[in-house]
Structure 1
Amino acid sequence: MDILDWIQDWFKDNCDGDWESSDAIQINTLDRPGWEVEIDISNTSIASMELDWILNETSKQDWYGVKIADQKFTAAGDPDKLKFLLNLFKEMIDKIENQ
């Protein structure tokens, strides 16, 4: 399944009449340049999870970082990493749900 199809399905599955009316999923651009993905996980099985910021930087043009805090998954990366960032979230959800 394509990551965009998966995130759409995940979003629909988590809609409860309230969660989706806030900023449940945000995708923004950064001036570094790059992408930032922020996903509200308060409605999920990983809501209590915490992860300090981890930065993986090969070069100024090849980097990404991720953290989980305050019931939000936040990931950022270079301009080529949008699908990768969404897949990080998917992999985390899949791993937790398959335990």
Structure 2
Amino acid sequence: MSESMHVLDWLQHWYASQCDGEWEHEWGVTIGTLDNPGWTVRIDLEETDLEDREHPRRRITRGEDDWVMAWTSDRTFHLACGPRNLTEALGLFRAWASGGDAV
């Protein structure tokens, strides 16, 4: 199984484990696109075990279309990345949420 499938499976499991009949009505995970081009991800941490954890804004830049940013603000984990970095970005959330450091 590819790394992208592993991280997607993990994210699906994490999301499902937050759903308690109430959380999913107000919070969730949003994945969208940027026009530069790239991806944006917003993962709500409100009412999860992660809501009080912080992640300072960090950026890795390897090229014009090869970059990743990760940070928390307002009980939300934010990711932004280049057009081919979505798997890497989601892996940063997984590492951070699992107790490791992202970026």
Tell whether the structures are fold-level matches, with TM greater than 0.5: yes
Residue 56 of structure 2 aligns to a residue in which SS? strand
Count of aligned pairs between the two proteins: 96
Q: What is the match of residue 10 of structure 1?
A: 14
Q: What is the match of residue 40 of structure 1?
A: 44
Residue 95 of structure 2 aligns to a residue in which SS? helix
TM-aligned CA distance change 1:93 to 1:51, over 3 Å = closer
Q: What is the match of residue 57 of structure 2?
A: 53
Give CA deviations for 1:7-66 in whole Å, capped at 9, x if unaligned.
111111110222212341000000110001110011222211233322211221111101
Question: Structure 1 stretches of 5 or more lacking a match?
Answer: none
Task: For 2:17, give the aligned amino acid.
Answer: D
Structure 2 Cα separation of the partners of residues 14 and 28 of structure 1: 21
Q: What is the root-mean-square deviation of aligned Cα atoms in Å? A: 1.6
Question: Structure 2 stretches of 5 or more lacking a match?
Answer: none
Percentage identity across paired residues of the two chains: 34
* Post-superposition offset of 1:95: 1.4
